[in-house]
Structures are given as structure tokens and as C-alpha cells.
Copies of this chain bind each other. A is one copy, B any other.
């Protein structure tokens, strides 16, 4: 549905080689065998053979609800020469909004229409910044999905539609953004069974000055949306709350990325 691109990056290089080699550095390094590595699978699909050396350098924590797979798939598709990395990444990842944010940057709405990913940019204020609590505890998408009921009440669906309108207004104009805008009845409460400390951490983000908060994707990462001026206090409040909760993890301070996918010399961002 909605996603925001933040300035936390993955870089992929694809070169010709005599047989498949995958090198990975940073987040996710060593987690996957070469042939099963998402970057390799996407690059092989695009190029049509596996005589490739694929190098991945990632800043994006894996399996934390931060969209690392979509970003990786988009970067791998682009590095392999795909004409439409967005469509490829959305198909591999199954989350068109993560793929859209990775490719187009900024705030995006995206959805599948007749098996085709569609995306559109929406206004995102320059005044906003983001604090992300990243627990050192993966939460598999399959688990996060299993706790959700297949049917919901019309009232709950209407509730979320109403809040989504307020949220998009608040992301365009932060003076309108309040914690009500991210109130949710469709997934966060059910998923709290998998991460019982989450409500307390979300409350702590608001207490420290965040305008609104939500789970990042299916979790376990938690997002605080804040003004640039409140960023230091929200960041330190989040660090204190995370320590107090006993949940191992870290807190990132991030800004929106408005460029999305970049190629070649432009793509020097990961160190």
C-alpha cells in the first residue's frame, strides 16, 4: 500500500564470470548460499544465465520489516540490466510498495492490478525525519502473516481507511500529523503476540516527541515519524526505551530518500 524510502541503502554489482559467485558485505552477509541468494536469482533471471559475479553491499537489516528483499531485488535487477527493475522487484518480493519506494524514492502508494505492479508518488514533507527501532530478533514474514485473521469486520476496514486519509494528509503537512493517523486495527495488535514489547516501545516514541508511529511492514522494526527538530530527542528516547525493555537491538535515525534507484557513480552511498 504505502511505503517511504529512507536513506539506508543496498548496492549490487553484477559482472560476467566463469561461474556463479556471490560476495556479500554488511547486513545479511553470509546468511545465504550463492545460488539461493536473492540477488543472484534475480540477476540470473534478468541475464538468462548464471555465469555471473554478484557483489552485494547492504546497510539494510534483513528480516526486520524494512523491505530489504525488495531493495535488493530492485538493485540486482538494475545491475543486471533490467529495463523495469520496479516490476521485477515487485514480482520477486510480493510487496509492490517496498519495490516502488526502492526504485522511485519518497512516499509511494503501490498495489497489484491484474498481476501488474502499479505505483504512484505522493507528497512527503521535507520537514519529516524517521527513527527506526530495529530489534535484534528476526520476525519471519510467514509467522507475521499466520497470526492475521482472514476475515475482518467492516468497521475495522473502515477504521483503517479513515486513518490512511489522515496519515497521507499528515505526511504532506506535518502540522496535521498525530498518533491517530497511524492507529491500526488490521495487523499490529495481532502481531503483538509475536513481539509483546512493541506497544510500549511505540508509546515511548510518542512520549519522546514522535508525531506518529507504526510497525514497519510486518515488523519487528518500529517506525517513529518526527520533525527534523525533534529527531535527537526521539532518537535518544527510543534508545532509552529499547534498553529498558530488555530487547536487544539498535535505533536508526534516517531521512527520506527522494532519488530511489541510482546507477553507477551515483550509487556510491554505502561505504
Which A residues fall within an 8 A CB radius of B?
1-2, 109-113, 118, 120-123, 148-166, 168-170, 172-173, 176, 180, 183, 186
Which residue, A118, A148, A170, A176, has most C-beta atoms of chain B within 10 A?
A: A118
| CB-contact partner of A122 in B112, B169, B180, B183, under 8 A | B169
B residues near A110, Cβ cutoff 8 Å = 162, 165
Q: CA separation between A155 and B186, bound complex, in Å? A: 11
Q: CA separation between A170 and B123, bound complex, in Å? A: 11
Whether the pair A1, B109 counts as a contact (CB closer than 8 A) is no
Whether the pair A148, B158 counts as a contact (CB closer than 8 A) is no
B residues near A186, Cβ cutoff 8 Å = 154, 157
B residues near A169, Cβ cutoff 8 Å = 109, 120-122
Whether the pair A154, B150 counts as a contact (CB closer than 8 A) is yes
Whether the pair A162, B1 counts as a contact (CB closer than 8 A) is yes
Residue of B nearest to A116 (CB): B180
Whether the pair A1, B165 counts as a contact (CB closer than 8 A) is yes
| CB-contact partner of A123 in B123, B148, B152, B158, under 8 A | B123
Whether the pair A165, B123 counts as a contact (CB closer than 8 A) is no
**7 more A-B contacts (CB under 8 A) besides A122-B172, A150-B155, A151-B152?**
A1-B162, A109-B164, A109-B168, A109-B169, A111-B162, A148-B154, A152-B153
Q: CA separation between A180 and B120, bound complex, in Å? A: 12
With A123-B123, A152-B157 as known contacts, state yes or no: A111 contacts B165, CB within 8 Å: yes
